[in-house]
Structure 1
Amino acid sequence: MPRKPSNYLIFSVFLLILMACSVNSTNRNPFLPEVGFRFDINLNLPLYTDLNNPGNPVYIGNNGVGIRGVYVINTGFGVFRAFEASCPNQVPSNCSTMRMEGTVAKCDCDNFEYSLFTGQQLNRPDDGNRYYDMLEYRANASGNLVIISN
């Protein structure tokens, strides 16, 4: 006759499942709201031809694409990355849309700079405060189409 599992075993399994399903909100950027969108980039269009060459970022400021728009860059070997254009360490405001200088995005609110290749903050202060890198969106390439979505 098979043994009946103990209450301790059942509780342990339940606790393990609960912990595995918990959401870790420590990585969530509190300054930027969640937005859902999808935008298709046709690399054959003149507006996006710079993306055919690695290292050339493009700003897409269409309404409904990200919070303040999206920066997209071809990092090489058919890999594209897309980042939110809002300053990641500011609540969206008049000064919080970053401007692009080469492959660097700059926030005029706090003078922080970010790599458009990695999204990482380049001049992070060592003051003990928490700072966020750029918010990254999904970028899937297929042929001459790049789909940006969240």
Structure 2
Amino acid sequence: MKKIWLLILFISALFSCSDNDINNKNPYIPKYPVNLTIDMNLPSYSNLKYMSNGVIISGYGAKGVIIFNAGSGYNAFDAACPNQALTSCTAMTIKGINAVCSCDDTEYSLFTGLGEKEYPLIQYRVEVSGTIIHVYN
């Protein structure tokens, strides 16, 4: 009987483990491969060295990638409006610490990716080494 309980406990622990995957399930935005590296020493990206600053880099993801310095680290989000069809809106813009959708003026926090609608911003992984930022999924 003791072995059965240990087996049940082991199986429960096995299925409760997470692979630390970022969940990007959004019916409006397909999953595009992103592999982007920037150097904050370049003038275009130097404001990323300071908290609450962000940049939009076009040509990656669905509508570009927003990289934001959150103070405790960097966040990277797709610049596509997460609650609109991909073809209906242009890339989001940065307004202070928020990203704004061009279709409906919905604002999304660049600290969390959350807004007032159903889906949050599509988030990418970020690694920082010195002044180099690597964004990928």
Structure 1 length normalisation: TM-score?
A: 0.73
Residue in 2 aligned with 1:3? none
Number of residue-to-residue matches in the alignment:
123
Deviation at 1:96, TM superposition (A): 4.0
Deviates more, 1:27-36 or 1:48-57: 27-36
* Sequence identity percentage: 38
Q: Which residue of 1 aligns with 2:99?
A: 105
Structure 2 distance, partners of 1:54, 1:74, is 5
Aligned match of 2:128 = 141
Q: Indicate if the aligned counterparts of 2:24 and 2:122 stay in contact, CA closer than 8 A.
A: no
Whole-Å separation in 2 of the counterparts to 1:116 and 1:102: 9
TM-score w.r.t. length of structure 2: 0.79
Structure 1 equivalent of residue 30 of structure 2:
33
Structure with larger Rg: 1
Which runs of 5 or more residues in structure 1 are unaligned? 1-8, 21-25, 125-130
Aligned to 2:69: 74
Q: In the aligned structure 2, how far is the partner of 1:147 from the partner of 1:97?
A: 21
> Which residue in the other structure is 2:80 paired with?
86
Q: Specify the alignment match of 1:118 in structure 2.
A: 112
Whether the 8 Å CA contact 1:90–1:96 is kept in 2: the answer is no
State which drifts further: 36-45 or 105-114: 105-114
CA-atom RMSD in angstroms: 2.4
* Over 6 Å off, 4+ runs: none
Task: Extract unaligned runs of 5+ from structure 2.
Answer: 16-22
Q: How much has 1:90 moved relative to structure 2?
A: 1.1
Q: SS where residue 70 of structure 2 aligns?
A: strand
SS in 2 for 1:51: helix
